Structure 1
Amino acid sequence: MEMSELRALLTPEGLALLDETRAAGIPDVARAVSRLRAAGHSADLVSAVVGQARLREKAVAKFGPFASRMLFTRAGLEQATRLEVSARHAGRFRSAGLQSVADLGCGIGGDSLGFAGIGLRVHAVDADEVTAAIAAYNLAPFGDAVSVAHGRAEDADLSGVDAAWLDPARRTAGHTETSRVSAADYTPSLDWAFDLAGRLPTGVKLGPAFDRDLIPQDVEAQWIGVDGSTIELVLWSRELARPGVRRAALVVRGAAAHELTAQEDAADEPERELGAFVHEPDGAVIRARLIGDVARSLQAGMVAPGIAYLTGDAALTSPFVSSFRVRETLPADVRGLARALKERGIGRLEIKKRGVDVDPAKLRTSLKLKGDEEATLILTRVGGKHLAILADRV
Structure 2
Amino acid sequence: MDPATLGKLLSPDGWALLAALPPYDEKQAMALSMRLRDQGVDPDLAAAVLTQSRLRAKARAKLGDFADGMLFTPDGVEQATRLVVAALHARRYLAAGVTKVADLTCGIGADALAFAGVGLQVLATDVDEVTAAMAAVNLRPFPEAEVRHADGLTLDLSAEGVDGVYADPARRTRGGKRVFDPRAYAPPLDAVWALRSSVPAVGIKVGPGIAHQGLPADAETQWVSVDGDVVEAGLWFGPLAPGGPGRSALILTTRGGVTRTRTLRSAVPVGQHAAGPAYDAVPPVGPVGAYVYEPDGAVIRAGLVGQAAQDLGGRLLDATIAYVTTDQPAPAAVVDPASGAAPLAVGYRVLDVLPFGVKRLKAYLRERGVGRVAIKKRGTAVTPEQLRAQLSLHGPREATLILTRVEGAQQILVVEPLTHGGTPA
Tell me the TM-score normalized by structure 1.
0.94
Q: Aligned residue for 1:274?
A: 288
SS at the partner of 2:139?
Answer: helix
Q: Aligned residue for 1:261?
A: 265
What amino acid is the match of 2:162? V
Residues 200-247 of structure 1 show CA distances to partners (whole Å, capped at 9, x for unaligned) of 211111111112122111111111111111111111111111134522
- Residues 127 and 149 of structure 2 are in contact (CA less than 8 Å); yes or no, is this contact kept in structure 1? yes
Distance 1:345 1:260, change over 3 A: same
Distance 2:359 2:45 in 1: 56
What amino acid is the match of 2:154? D
Distance 2:395 2:14 in 1: 53
What amino acid is the match of 2:198? R
Distance 1:331 1:292, change over 3 A: closer
Residues 320-354 of structure 1 show CA distances to partners (whole Å, capped at 9, x for unaligned) of 11111111124533343233223323344322111
SS at the partner of 1:140?
Answer: coil
What is the count of residue pairs matched by the alignment?
A: 391
SS at the partner of 2:360?
Answer: helix
- Residues 249 and 261 of structure 1 are in contact (CA less than 8 Å); yes or no, is this contact kept in structure 2? yes
Alignment of 1:112-261 (within 5 A): 112-142=112-142, 144-159=143-158, 160-173=161-174, 177-180=176-179, 182-200=181-199, 201-254=201-254, 255-261=259-265
Q: Aligned residue for 1:359?
A: 383
Distance 1:304 1:38, change over 3 A: same
Q: Aligned residue for 1:287?
A: 301
Distance 1:24 1:153, change over 3 A: closer
SS at the partner of 1:386?
Answer: strand
- Residues 206 and 232 of structure 1 are in contact (CA less than 8 Å); yes or no, is this contact kept in structure 2? yes
Which 10-residue stretch deviates more, 45-54 or 193-202? 193-202
| Residue 196 (structure 1) shift | 0.8
Distance 1:288 1:36 in 2: 50
| Residue 29 (structure 1) shift | 2.2
Query: Do residues 375 (structure 1) and 399 (structure 2) align?
Result: yes
| Residue 314 (structure 1) shift | 1.8
| Residue 81 (structure 1) shift | 0.4
Q: Aligned residue for 1:337?
A: 361
Query: Do residues 50 (structure 1) and 44 (structure 2) align?
Result: no
| Residue 299 (structure 1) shift | 1.7
- Residues 5 and 47 of structure 1 are in contact (CA less than 8 Å); yes or no, is this contact kept in structure 2? no
SS at the partner of 1:233?
Answer: strand
Distance 1:258 1:215 in 2: 23
SS at the partner of 1:388?
Answer: strand
SS at the partner of 1:41?
Answer: coil
- Residues 244 and 263 of structure 1 are in contact (CA less than 8 Å); yes or no, is this contact kept in structure 2? no
Residues 57-92 of structure 1 show CA distances to partners (whole Å, capped at 9, x for unaligned) of 111110111111111111110111000000011011
What amino acid is the match of 1:125? T
Distance 2:353 2:180 in 1: 42
Distance 2:355 2:8 in 1: 62
SS at the partner of 1:94?
Answer: helix
Distance 1:383 1:190, change over 3 A: same
Which 10-residue stretch deviates more, 198-207 or 255-264? 255-264
What amino acid is the match of 1:136? A
- Residues 318 and 408 of structure 2 are in contact (CA less than 8 Å); yes or no, is this contact kept in structure 1? no
What amino acid is the match of 1:129? E
SS at the partner of 2:353?
Answer: strand
What amino acid is the match of 1:33? S
What amino acid is the match of 1:261? R
Distance 1:316 1:17, change over 3 A: same
Distance 2:391 2:49 in 1: 45
Q: Aligned residue for 2:272?
A: none
Distance 1:24 1:287, change over 3 A: closer
The percentage of aligned residue pairs carrying the same residue is 45
Q: Aligned residue for 1:314?
A: 328
- Residues 223 and 284 of structure 1 are in contact (CA less than 8 Å); yes or no, is this contact kept in structure 2? yes
| Residue 46 (structure 1) shift | 1.4
Distance 1:65 1:293, change over 3 A: same
What amino acid is the match of 2:263? E
SS at the partner of 1:315?
Answer: coil
Distance 2:55 2:292 in 1: 39
- Residues 299 and 312 of structure 1 are in contact (CA less than 8 Å); yes or no, is this contact kept in structure 2? yes
Which 10-residue stretch deviates more, 75-84 or 254-263? 254-263
Q: Which sections of structure 1, spanning at least 5 residues, go unmatched? A: none
Q: Aligned residue for 1:350?
A: 374
| Residue 145 (structure 1) shift | 0.4
Distance 2:216 2:351 in 1: 45
